[in-house]
Amino acid sequence: MTATETDAATGTRTNGTAAPPPRHEPRGIRRLAFSQRLSRWDLKLSPYLYISPFFILFIVTGLFPIAYTAVISFMDWDLVRGTGTFIGFDQYVYVLTQPKFWIALRNTFSIFLLSSVPQLLLAIFIAAMLDQNIRAKTFWRMGVLVPYVMAPVAVALIFSNMFGDKYGLVNTILQDIGLSPVMWHSDAFASHIAIATMVNFRWTGYNTLILLAAMQAIPRDYYEAAAIDGASKLRQFFAITVPSLRPTLIFVIITSTIGGLQIFDEPRMYDQYGTGGADSQWLTITLYLYDIGWGQWNFGRAAALAWILFLIILAIGVVNLLVTRRLVRDEGSTR
């Protein structure tokens, strides 16, 4: 017989042993509905689906042409038949041993330097002016984009006439102020200046808006604190604005380098022939590539030249990346 106890609260008598816990029936395996399974797959796959159009487009229009050009560069390619004979590095050797290639490379870098450096300085100056409290901000900001949206052919035709050797507007102004006219088409360096002016006219506004957006992202507290400390506007610009623009400046420099080394429209339309000048005064790499491919119908050599240009741009990009990392590391160590 088991002992019994009286519950003081209820007055009922209970056995001394504890009651066994209630028994639960074992649960079966829970099956997800089709909509729930679909929702899980949607959460996992949807990010990849959203970004897939870019990669598909890049593979079709970017990666495949690069690989296909590499294959053609090792062949004596027949465009009509769509076949070729493998000849190894002969196309590369031929291109690199041509004096015209080195002339085109020199002209390309000359035009690039004459356009990129003034363009960057002018873009920083205009962006700093537009960042001030001026009237009609929207009008001026939209106005700097007008040259960018103009057709490159139209810009080239206008500037080609302006820099005419005999009846150009620039030479007319030079003669009116007592200076000798400049042979903008026959002189190599003068033609580089004229073509670089076209490039600056088209791309300065684009880079200005990029730099302006970066300037507006700088906290205004920095400028207020500097003003309280007695720093002038010029001091604030070099001590606050320029260091804060470093990542954006690196981006602008890299994109300008890629675009500057592939310049084609401006030198192509600088005269009526589009061959880079009678003595290759303004012949660029892309113009030389165009002449080999569509002038001489030698697509193997043109593909080899395209890959040489690609490797040059890639090498410059790597150098820019290394310099960028060095600057960021030095900046972090000084803080």
Q: What is the pLDDT of residues 244-286, one digit of tens each?
A: 888 888 888 888 888 889 999 899 988 888 888 888 899 999 9
Indicate the average pLDDT of the chain.
Answer: 83
Residue 106, classified by CB atoms within 10 Å of its CB into exposed (0-12), middle (13-18) or buried (19+), is middle
User: Half-sphere exposure (CA, 13 Å, Cβ side) for 107?
Assistant: 30
> Which position has the higher pLDDT, 97 or 167?
97
Neighbours of 267 (CB within 10 A): 29
Least confident of 12-26, 81-95, 222-236, 249-263: 12-26
Residues 222-247 have a mean pLDDT of 87
Q: What is the pLDDT of residue 212?
A: 92
Q: What is the pLDDT of residue 2?
A: 46
Neighbours of 224 (CB within 10 A): 10
Sign of CA dihedral 48, 50, 52, 58: negative
Q: What is the pLDDT of residue 328?
A: 60
The residues near 326 (Cβ < 8 Å, ≥ 6 apart) are: none
> Which position has the higher pLDDT, 10 or 328?
328
Residues 64-84 have a mean pLDDT of 85
Highest mean pLDDT out of 14-28, 71-85, 143-157: 143-157
Tokens describing residue 25: 């029936």
179 has a pLDDT exceeding 70: yes
Residue 263 sits at φ, ψ, to 5 deg, of -60, 130
Q: What is the pLDDT of residue 3?
A: 46
CB 127 within 8 A of CB 211: yes
CA distances from 181 to 165, 171, 196, 282 (A): 8, 5, 19, 19
CA-wise closest residue to 76 among 91, 65, 93, 66: 91
Report the C-alpha gap between 57 and 60 in whole angstroms. Answer: 5
Domains, the chain, with CATH or none: 34-73 (no CATH), 94-334 (1.10.3720.10)
- Residues 123-175 have pLDDT tens digits of 999 999 988 888 878 888 888 888 888 888 888 889 988 998 888 899 999 99
- Residues 27-54 have pLDDT tens digits of 555 565 556 666 666 667 777 888 888 8
